Amino acid sequence: MSGAFTKSMARNIFYGGTIFFFLLFLALSFDTHSQLPKRDMRANITPQIAEGKKLWEVNNCIGCHTLMGEGAYFAPELGNVVVRYGDEGVKAFIQSRPKEGIPGRRSMPQFNFTDEQLNAIVAFLKHVNSINDANWPPNSQG
Amino acid sequence: MQFKSQAVAKPYFIAAIGLFVGQILFGLILGLQYVLGDFLFPAIPFNVARMVHTNLLIVWLLFGFMGGAYYMIPEESETELFSPKLALILFWTFLIAGALTIVGYLAVPYATLAELTGNNILETMGREFLEQPLPTKLGIVVVALGFLFNITMTVLKGKKTSISIVLLLGLWGLAVFFLFSFYNPVNVVLDKFFWWWTVHLWVEGVWELILGSFLAFVLIKTTGVDREVIEKWLYVIVTLTLITGIIGTGHHYFWIGTPEYWQWWGSIFSALEPIPFFAMTVFAFNMVNRRRREHPNKAAVLWALGTGVMAFLGAGVWGFLHTLAPVNYYTHGTQITAAHGHMAFYGAYAMVNLMMISYAMPILRGRAANSNKSQVLEMWSFWLMTVAIVFITLFLTAAGILQVWLQRVSDAPLPFMVAQDKIALFYWMREWAGAAFLIGLIIYIASFFVGGDEKEAA
């Protein structure tokens, strides 16, 4: 770097550039929020779906699974699991996990959910599946 | 050591290394669970081990950042630390809170932990990397504020260098963006949108300021190149970081319910994100080549060069690999992401902390540099850990490419678990590379206990 470009010029570009791009980011975020209601299906969120999201969180499902591609990569994507297995299939799968796991296989814990809790989880996963996420994942396998 | 109060950095560095060991041990457990699915099940299920692995990573990096700041700021400000006592109180607070959190993860089911720790009062748990119970999250805020107060007061009463200012911006940004971890709306799209304001704006934003500032500090000390030149570089690098990285957040907004225009903004700006890392590499090599003195601590210089190169490869190149929306459509949430994550975190943040520790620890122990024997051992550990992470990354990349093909691209896409079984060979190789990493880490720790002819304090 030549002598003509001084430290104080670099500093000014740093502050100016950061502020400009942060404001641009805020503007884009603001616009996103005006568009989201049409995409995130918030009008359909029921107390049951909220309960499902809470169960999803307090059992740390994201510690193994992904949801819309985010999370751990140890177990299948669940954003579209209702497409793969159907409501009853999802419930039956969760219910039938052996307490001690399956020898030699990646095993999901037995959470001992009540029927009401299972319904809430499925309601939440169906809600996630209904979100307009630009057609991801590429196919039903997740 | 120029200022007595710099000594508070030492326990921070020791804790950082201790937690780093824990992180790697749990990493090896996770790697085994990938191939021997029921390993330690149901005692330590995968999600618990992963939480411990990633949370230990975050906490040891934070210990390293705080230790580095406590070491660096008095020297930059040319004054004693505002309150060494506060620094030590916060050290024990953070260590005990961190240890209790890890014990909580391991001792009781996560749902019970949530119940016990007041998650019903404010639901913040169960989101990736932000799994900490509410009291821990509040503890992090308290420790961060106390730490920032201490550091800021020190800078205010002393000299205000550009390196200190950039560090302060990075650290304040870290604290401010962590506050988004308390916002968890029931709308999952909004939840994910702001979750990234903590996660992305940390690792691809303000943390890079901390990285740049530490790197600039160590380069000034070890090369003797003029401060004006180094600080000018620092400003250029952090400018490039933030003008690419802030809008670069958009590469996380492709498939989570946010509008499609993010595919353009995110692709274009995050494609530019490798540039600051490339500049950092050029910067480090350039300064070392133009050095005006031969610093006796060769190991610290090696870490400084290494962090530039590995951050560029891990964060820059491996990030670019899957950041364009049409590519990411297929690679999103696969082992490609895991590959990138491992090399980026090691290259950028683990290595910069190890660089700071390598530079500061000998001085904190009363010498300019460690003995030749100790440095040779440390450099061996550098190469072992670095080569091991390269192989971990390559094996995970291979696994990821196959996974994408088998599960998402081929004419007859396979179910997730069927595809996983077919790529197990690469998971086994990753685990062996992980074992090599652990050997490197053991050698690293051993290097602290090797005696010999230490260089006299300057």
Selected for mutation to probe chain A from B243, B249, B327, B404 (highest A CB count within 10 Å) is: B243
Neighbours of A114 (CB within 10 A): 8
Determine the pLDDT at residue A96: 97
- Which helix (H) or strand (E) segment holds residue A71: the answer is strand A70-71
Determine the pLDDT at residue A22: 98
Instruction: Tell me the per-residue pLDDT of A89-123, one tens digit each, with 9 for 90 and over.
Output: 999 999 999 999 999 999 999 999 999 999 999 99
Mean model confidence pLDDT for chain A: 97
Cβ <8 Å between B131 and A60: yes
pTM (two decimals)? 0.97
Q: Tell whether the model's pLDDT for residue A3 goes beyond 70.
A: no
Dist CA B348 CA B286 (whole Å): 18
Dist CA A46 CA A123 (whole Å): 9
A67: β partners: A70
Q: Which residue in chain B has the smallest CA separation from A136?
A: B255
- B1-160 has which fold? Four Helix Bundle (Hemerythrin (Met), subunit A) (1.20.120)
Dist CA B253 CA A140 (whole Å): 21
Question: Is B338 part of the contact surface with chain A (CB cutoff 8 Å)?
Answer: yes
Cβ <8 Å between B232 and A5: yes
Dist CA B156 CA A57 (whole Å): 42
Residues of chain B with CATH 1.20.120: 1-160
Determine the pLDDT at residue B457: 62
* Cα–Cα nearest to B83, from B28, B23, B151, B129: B151
Cβ <8 Å between B257 and A36: yes
Distances (CA, A) of B300 to A121, B11, B295, B365, B366: 51, 19, 9, 15, 16
Question: Is A46 part of the contact surface with chain B (CB cutoff 8 Å)?
Answer: no
- Buried/exposed code over B125-140 (b: 16+ C-beta within 10 A; e: otherwise): bbbbbbbbbbebbbbb
Token digits of residue B107: 């001792």
Determine the pLDDT at residue B453: 77
Residues of chain B with CATH 1.20.210.10: 199-450
B455: β partners: B369
Q: Which of B36, B252, B254 sits opposite A104 (nearest CB)?
A: B36
Question: Is A5 part of the contact surface with chain B (CB cutoff 8 Å)?
Answer: yes
Token digits of residue B441: 């880490």
Instruction: Tell me the per-residue pLDDT of B103-126, one tens digit each, with 9 for 90 and over.
Output: 999 999 999 999 999 999 999 999
Dist CA B104 CA B107 (whole Å): 5
> If you count residue pairs, one on A and one on B, with CB atoms under 8 Å apart, how many are there?
223
Instruction: Tell me the per-residue pLDDT of B126-146, one tens digit each, with 9 for 90 and over.
Output: 999 999 999 999 999 999 999
Q: What residue ranges of chain B have pLDDT lower than 50?
A: none
- For B199-450, the fitting CATH number among 1.20.210.10, 1.10.3470.10, 3.30.420.10, 3.40.50.720 is 1.20.210.10
Which ipTM did the prediction report? 0.97
Question: Is B122 part of the contact surface with chain A (CB cutoff 8 Å)?
Answer: no
Q: Tell whether the model's pLDDT for residue A1 goes beyond 60.
A: no
Question: Is B411 part of the contact surface with chain A (CB cutoff 8 Å)?
Answer: no
Question: Is A21 part of the contact surface with chain B (CB cutoff 8 Å)?
Answer: yes
Map tokens 């190890």 to a residue.
Answer: B354
Determine the pLDDT at residue A40: 97
Determine the pLDDT at residue A71: 98
Selected for mutation to probe chain B from A5, A9, A11, A15 (highest B CB count within 10 Å) is: A11
Determine the pLDDT at residue B428: 98
Token digits of residue B68: 């580095």
User: In B, which residues are within 8 Å of A17 by CB distance?
Assistant: 239, 242-243
Question: Is A28 part of the contact surface with chain B (CB cutoff 8 Å)?
Answer: yes
Token digits of residue A59: 């059992």
* Cα–Cα nearest to B209, from B250, B177, B255: B177
Dist CA B154 CA B428 (whole Å): 49
Map tokens 């749902």 to a residue.
Answer: B111
Token digits of residue B382: 């550098």
How many residues in chain B?
Answer: 458
Q: Which of B236, B329, B333 sits opposite A73 (nearest CB)?
A: B333
